Amino acid sequence: MLGVALAALTLAAGAHGAAAARPPIVWNAIPYSAKRKSEMSAYSRRHYGFSGSELRNPKVIVEHLTESSTFSAAWNTFAPDVADSELHELPGVCAHFIIDQYGTIHQLVPITLMCRHTVGLNWTAIGIEHVGFTPNDVLTRSRVMSASLRLTNWLRCREGIAINNVIGHNESLKSPYHHERIARLRGQTHDDFPTSSMVKYRAALRKMTC
Ligand SMILES: [Zn+2]
């Protein structure tokens, strides 16, 4: 059933001629102050060994689930520049994009700045969050899946990112770009978007063109 739904989605995406065209994106910026930039730079120095808050030549796109039911709940998690509850570090966690349950793409941060969304990959990864709790909240909702594929395809074509480097958060430790200087965090990842779901996601992405 899922396969049928994915096939239909792929056809729908192709029928729109989406390919590498920029999908509609609503700008809902979170505050990214000079203080937050300097904290991002210090984070980068601690975790990756170089200073700076800029995201240059990103090589990876990481797909996430917000584990919340609304866009505003997710936005409100990312907006404040406060230490996160899990690792207790600054700057506050964020993602570049959130796709809501209606398929609207919201952008929170320019892709020229780093966001803290995936331990080991923030130095080179664009983060895309999806409002929902399980991968099926994306894979089986045609508007959400279509928006997600269009955004990801546009970004990956624009930045020259290989499809194999479009990964789920849960796949972070297997990425060839994973790098973490702090030993206790080297095995840290999250459950969202495991390989079983990303195989289906990447198969749909492979049917799109740049
Ligand atoms: Zn995640």
* Residues 54-92: tens digit of each pLDDT: 999 999 999 999 999 999 999 999 999 999 999 999 999
Helices (H) then strands (E): counts for the chain = 6, 6
Say if residues 3 and 83 touch (Cβ distance below 8 Å): no
**So what's the pLDDT on residue 198?**
98
CB 50 within 8 A of CB 42: no
Residues 95-117, mean pLDDT to the nearest whole number? 98
How many whole angstroms from 21 Cα to the centroid of ligand 1? 26
CB 58, CB 126: distance < 8 Å? yes
Contact 205, 152 (CB under 8 A): yes
Q: What is the pLDDT of residues 114-131, one digit of tens each?
A: 999 999 999 999 999 999
CA of 6 from ligand 1 middle (Å) equals 22
Q: 153 alpha carbon to ligand 1 midpoint, in Å?
A: 19
CA of 63 to the centre of ligand 1 (A): 7
- Cα 9 to averaged position of ligand 1 atoms, centre (Å): 24
CA–CA distance, 52 with 40 (Å, rounded to integer) = 7
Class of domain 2-206: alpha beta
- Beta strand 105-107 with 97-99 is antiparallel
Confidence of residue 5 (pLDDT cuts 50, 70, 90): very low
List the shell of residues around ion ligand 1, using CB closer than 5 Å: 64, 169, 190, 192
**Distance from chain centroid for Cα 39:** 21
Domain residue extents for the chain: 2-206
From ligand 1's centre to the CA of 142, what distance in Å?
21
Residue 30 near residue 79, CB atoms below 8 Å: yes
How many Å lie between the centroid of ligand 1 and the Cα of residue 50? 24
For the chain, the residue count is 210
Task: Give 154-184 pLDDT, tens digit per residue.
Answer: 999 999 999 999 999 999 999 999 999 999 9
Cα 15 to averaged position of ligand 1 atoms, centre (Å): 30
Residue 206's SS3 state is helix
Nearest to 121 by CA among 79, 74, 168: 168
Structure tokens at 42: 């210090």
d(CA 68, ligand 1 centre) in Å:
12
Q: How far is CA 57 from the centre of its chain?
A: 15
- For the chain, what is the radius of gyration of the CA atoms? 16
DSSP 80-137: S----TTT--SS----SEEE-TTS-EEE-S-TTB----STTTTTTEEEEEESBSSTHH
